[in-house]
Amino acid sequence: MSDRMDIMRQALGAMNQGSPHARALGIETISIGPEGSVLRAPYKPEMVGDPDTGVIAGGVVTALLDHACGQAVHTALEQFTTIATLDLRIDYMRPAEPGKDIFARAHCYKATRSVAFVRAVAYDTDPDDPVAAAQAAFMLDSSAGRGFGANLKPAKKPVKGRS
């Protein structure tokens, strides 16, 4: 594995712990690379949406897919930049099997100067039999203009005598 991918793996692992929802869901990165990312959310009783069936809540699947898509964008870019989800469409195809972990596999198939496009599937056993499929768009350099980016000009100094 390249030094870049080793650094990326460490950074994405830190993002899993630094994101309150990812940490609460126990999301972990299974693999990353040019082909995309694979993440896992372990089955937990507190993540069940329907106690009668034991099926995991749809919001868990949504969060997992969004997080996997974001990590796929980071692995596809040459240089780290901030990103933000612009659009996330999810088609739910079937309920996840109770008691099984949920996986998400995402691939960034196109990145322009300002937007990255991603496809993903969530599954419990077989990626060819998905629980859900997602299509997403992410804004690149999402902190531009907010004072966080390294490429921004310093703020103007206030003029004396004016507030």
| pLDDT tens per residue, range 79-122 | 888 899 999 999 999 999 999 999 999 999 999 999 999 999 99
- Range with the lowest mean pLDDT among 10-24, 40-54, 117-131? 10-24
Q: Indicate if the pLDDT at residue 123 is higher than 50.
A: yes
Pairing of strands 83-92, 102-111: unpaired
Phi, psi of 99 (to 5 degrees): 85, -5
CB burial readout 111-123, b (16+ within 10 A) else e:
beeeebbbbbbbb
**Helix residue ranges, H only, the chain:** 3-18, 20-25, 58-76
Instruction: Name the β-bridge partners of 28.
Output: 40
Q: Tell me the CATH number of domain 3-140, given options 3.10.110.10, 3.30.43.10, 3.90.220.20, 3.10.129.10.
A: 3.10.129.10
Domain boundaries, the chain: 3-140
Average pLDDT over residues 16-37: 86
Q: State residue 71's pLDDT score.
A: 93
Q: State the amino acid at position 17 in one-letter form.
A: Q
